[in-house]
Amino acid sequence: MSSTTKSAPLRPSSTTGLLSWLATTDHKRIGVMYFWTTLVFFFLGGFEASLVRTQLAQAELTIMSEDLYNQMFTMHGITMVFLVVMPMSAAFFNYMIPLMIGARDVAFPRLNAFSYWLYLIGGIFLYSSFLLGGAPAGSWVGYAPLSTDPVHHMGYYAVGLQILGVGSLASAVNFITTILNMRAPGMTFMRMPVFIWMSLVTNFLLLFAMPIIAVALFMLQFDTLFGAQFFQPGTGGDPLLYQHLFWLFGHPEVYIMILPAMGIVSEILPVQSRKPLFGYAAVVFAGAAIGFIGFGVWAHHMFTTSIGPVARAAFGLTTMFIAVPTGIKIFNWVFTMWGGKLRFNTAMLFCVGFVSMFTIGGLSGVTHAIVPHDAQQHDTYYIVAHFHYVLFGGALFGLIAGMYYWFPKVTGKLMNETLGKWHFWTWLLGFNLTFGPMHMSGLLGQPRRTAVLPAELGGSVELYNLLSSLGVVVLIFSALIFLWNLIRSLKRGEASGEDPWDARTVEWLTASPPKHHNFDAIPTISHRDEFWHRKYAEDETGMPVRVPDDQRPDDGAPDEHIHMPDPSLWPLLATLGILPLAYGLVFVNPILIAVGVVWLIVGLFAWIHEPLAEGDDDEPADEHEPAMSGSGSH
């Protein structure tokens, strides 16, 4: 592969092959890597859930030991939250944010690669625990002091989540800077697509929530490794502190998982309804309000602890209050569809599925705001049903809608609609069959996180559990349809053309798949839904009239000097130092820890010593110095 750059040592210049992926700094490639990695973890997490449901298919079944069962439900939770839903949102952030704001990459391309490698290495590290003495078995919340007990292998949890947290924090800084500072000319805040708004809010939530769980996990580790007393009641330590810190992170985390899906749905519904989004400003402000209030509801996870009546009343009220912005959004989505020319393709079906299933989950959520009611439901399958309706019926449906919607953008091909509809209907059926009955079995008293279903709960609880387990069979079938559709469409999907959905936002302004530099000329934005306004004008009655292709606004000649970052191996090489550090912390081995720290520092220095692009001194011109000579020198 020829290249114009002076080849620096350790700087691959090829654009194909494995090395080009390992060294990529292209936001689109990183997005694609996030996507496939997430898919692998999704099937692993699904496998763990299937084992759990097999054990619970009948009362008193003991196919797995209690320890193995605990590992399975714990790893299922950790996987689905940290290795599937969050990074799948990150896949969309990576691929779509620069395209939707009219930029050529993110603000810090190598930091972006660093975030991905941290995610991958964190995931591999967590899963390596299965081979090295057993996976975490103390639930995804990792309550102390249970989690300071070596029996539950929570060392991997404390260190693994810390690695993933650093990656999330780095990408939050990156995406916030990108959205604030790299919008195309004319794209004011109130002209940003709703997905960009929701990405911005989500990344602020990540920015403020990740340090809090980092603190909780550090305390956990100091207790475990060095005998600190943070959560040890024997010397006056308070286990409730862990719960407060965890949920102060954990509840914003819920919105971190749902807001990107809400953004995706807010993009797809207007396009497939052929109407602008109803109440754009209300949707945006509701999203921001959810971000703020999301930090004030955490103790509703702790109503059955000794937080006291005042705290219970206060958090009950805030919990009811946060349903208001959520409700605003649901009404806006419904009114967007109202009177529209609806196209029920797969992407749209998943959006409608999102709105309806998320509403069910939202309503059962409001019941938790009622403290005495919550005391009855706490740690029962009713809770399991609730959060799967918001995270599976909500987040996952929305993310899948995004996959069908943007697949043509990424590949230039359409996904198969027949298979897509099979996927949707089996998915909807399997989902409701799995999680619907859990409302009932939970209200009848079935506890969560219990390895064996007690026969004394009675025949109806047994029946509900059998239905749930059968639902998983349908879901597995459905997921395989999706996988088949994905692979088949990648290989020989129908060509999509540039604008298959008659879309509204500027990511469709460029080729599909987009060129390396996204846009030949950066578009100038003069409207919300810029792309639609370029395609349609209004006649005297206000009806849209298609503008002939040759009369559409033009962004001028392609830019002559497009400056893109070169590939770099240093983000990967530096991140690899995390592995000895992490294993050193789990096995309490100072040599490994030292090797990891030195490796990381050397890697980071090599990274900052390497220019972003060869022959570049990395410094943009600014007002304190004379403009650089020549127009295209930077």
Partner 1 sequence: VAAGVHDTTLGLDHRKVAIWVFLGSEFLFFGAFISAYLLYLQATAGGPGVEIFDIPFTSISSFVLLMSSLTMVLAHHAHTQGDLRRMRLWILATAGQGAVFLGGQVFEFTVFVREGLVLTQSPFASSFFVLTGFHGLHVAVGILLLLSLYVFSLTGKLKPSHHVRTEMIGLYWHFVDIIWVVIFTVVYLIPEIAVG
Where does this chain bind partner 1 (CB under 8 A)? Answer: 104-105, 107-109, 169, 172-174, 176-177, 180-183, 187, 207-208, 210-212, 214-216, 218-219, 222-223, 226-230, 232, 235-238, 241, 245, 248, 563-565, 601, 605, 609, 612-613, 616-625, 634
Of 90, 119, 100, whose CA–CA distance to 32 is shortest?
A: 90
With both helix axes pointing from N to C terminus, report the angle between 239-273 and 381-390 in degrees, rounded to the nearest 10: 40
Nearest distance, CB of residue 504 and partner 1, angstroms: 21
Bridge partners of 571?
Answer: none
Nearer to partner 1, 121 or 206 (CB): 206
Widest CA span in the chain:
83
Nearer to partner 1, 207 or 452 (CB): 207
Nearer to partner 1, 184 or 330 (CB): 184
Nearest distance, CB of residue 44 and partner 1, angstroms: 30
Nearer to partner 1, 373 or 517 (CB): 517
* Burial class of residue 17 (count of CB atoms within 10 Å of its CB; 0-12, 13-18, 19+): exposed
Nearest distance, CB of residue 419 and partner 1, angstroms: 38
Cα-to-chain-centroid distance, residue 3: 35
Separation between Cα atoms, residue 195 and residue 197, nearest integer Å: 5
Nearest distance, CB of residue 487 and partner 1, angstroms: 33
Separation between Cα atoms, residue 76 and residue 139, nearest integer Å: 9
Nearest distance, CB of residue 70 and partner 1, angstroms: 28
Nearer to partner 1, 44 or 582 (CB): 582
In sequence order, which residues have a C-beta less than 8 Å from that of residue 185 and are 6 or more positions away? 522, 524, 525
Nearest distance, CB of residue 565 and partner 1, angstroms: 5
Nearer to partner 1, 86 or 176 (CB): 176
In sequence order, which residues have a C-beta less than 8 Å from that of residue 291 and are 6 or more positions away? 201, 202, 204, 205, 252, 255, 259
Nearer to partner 1, 288 or 371 (CB): 288
Rg (CA), the chain: 25
Nearer to partner 1, 203 or 359 (CB): 203
> CB–CB of 128/153 below 8 Å?
no
Separation between Cα atoms, residue 180 and residue 200, nearest integer Å: 8
> CB–CB of 435/361 below 8 Å?
no
Nearest distance, CB of residue 308 and partner 1, angstroms: 15
Separation between Cα atoms, residue 406 and residue 512, nearest integer Å: 10
Nearest distance, CB of residue 318 and partner 1, angstroms: 19
Separation between Cα atoms, residue 564 and residue 612, nearest integer Å: 9
